[in-house]
Amino acid sequence: MIKKNEIRDVERIEICPKDEIYCKNKEKQIFSITHDGVLLEDIYDFKLVENGIIYSHHEIGDLFLLDGNKNHVLYGNFFIDYFKELNQFYVVARINDDSPMNDAVIVDKNFKEISSFITFIVESNSLFLSTTMDSLFCFDLHQEKSWEINFKEIDAMLDEGFNTVDFYKFKNNIILQNYKGDYFYCIDILSGNLLWKKKLLGRINVFQNFLYSISNDILSEIDIETGEIIKQEDIYPLIESHNFHSTGEHKVYDDYIFCMSASKPGKVAVFERSTLKFRDFVQIEKSIPIGQKNLIWQNHKLYILDISGTLHIYEM
């Protein structure tokens, strides 16, 4: 890969549904990579959504939606850090003065509040999944419960509860990752039925009809419908050839899989998604923070944000 440019003093990068990349710099300004000029100023944080930009001037406070030239406001003690775009709605955490738990507030795409309830963990097709100490349950927008299953019904290993790490959505299915035993569970959110379970270590990503996992230096492609392994690639040789030690963090796109290392210097290994074969390698001076928010592949360009706030731009 060939380095084309770098931009300094960047705190965060994000790509919007219209494929435009926005940055927040250390002066609390929001700007676009592809357009000149500052879009917003004095910003605590922002989120890109299908019809605009959500932003806040404070960690807790009013939220703003910039939709074209219109600015909608959602008044209240909201946490933008806990804002998510769902299929048909937005959800954001809000301080509840009468409870130690924050509310999960459901908002329509015009920034009108629809409902609020105790926080949930994942949403699919307007159904919401949540947990108690010993069960997993599903409810709809009107807080009517659809189903509830005891953890023991999912797996006898879960008799001490479900210590969830992450959730991944695919059509009507939810993939749950659990610390205990390092198992992944695929559950039909409409019925609560367990479709499959599989022992995997490390992080996974959902892309099209597949799961991608890196564990024990093995890159795997897994059929999300059945949990069966389609193909695997040993990436251990990269330790010897490039001193590359994967954190397991990776991002998946149409053509490529980008696997990151948190070491200094920062390193990214590039694999062909169709074959899982090694394709290319990028090394930068500073380390890359762990997480998926610091790497974007867009229009044949790779954007990497290092720990010092420098955005590196490469072309394949």
Enumerate the domain spans of the chain.
Answer: 1-8+208-316
The pLDDT, as a whole number, for residue 243 is: 93
Do 128 and 118 contact (CB within 8 A), yes or no?
no
Q: How far apart are CA 272 and CA 296, in angstroms?
A: 16
One of 2.130.10.10, 3.40.50.1460, 3.20.20.60, 1.10.10.10 is the CATH number of 1-8+208-316, namely 2.130.10.10
Give the global pTM.
0.87
User: Which of the residues in the chain have pLDDT under 50?
Assistant: none
Q: According to the model, what pLDDT value does residue 69 have?
A: 73
* pLDDT for 159: 59
Helix intervals (H) in 4-157? 151-154
Distance, CA of 106 to CA of 119 (rounded, Å): 10
Distance CA 77, CA 60 (A): 5
User: Would you state the pLDDT for residue 306?
Assistant: 95
Helix residue spans in 194-302 (DSSP H): 237-242
What whole-number distance in Å separates Cα of residue 216 and Cα of residue 131? 30
Q: What pLDDT was estimated at residue 125?
A: 73
Q: What's the gap between Cα 125 and its chain centre?
A: 18
Rounded to an integer, what distance in angstroms lies between the CA atom of residue 15 and that of residue 169? 20
Contact between residue 16 and residue 30 where contact means Cβ atoms under 8 Å apart: no
Supply angle C-alpha 76, 78, 82, rounded to 5. 165
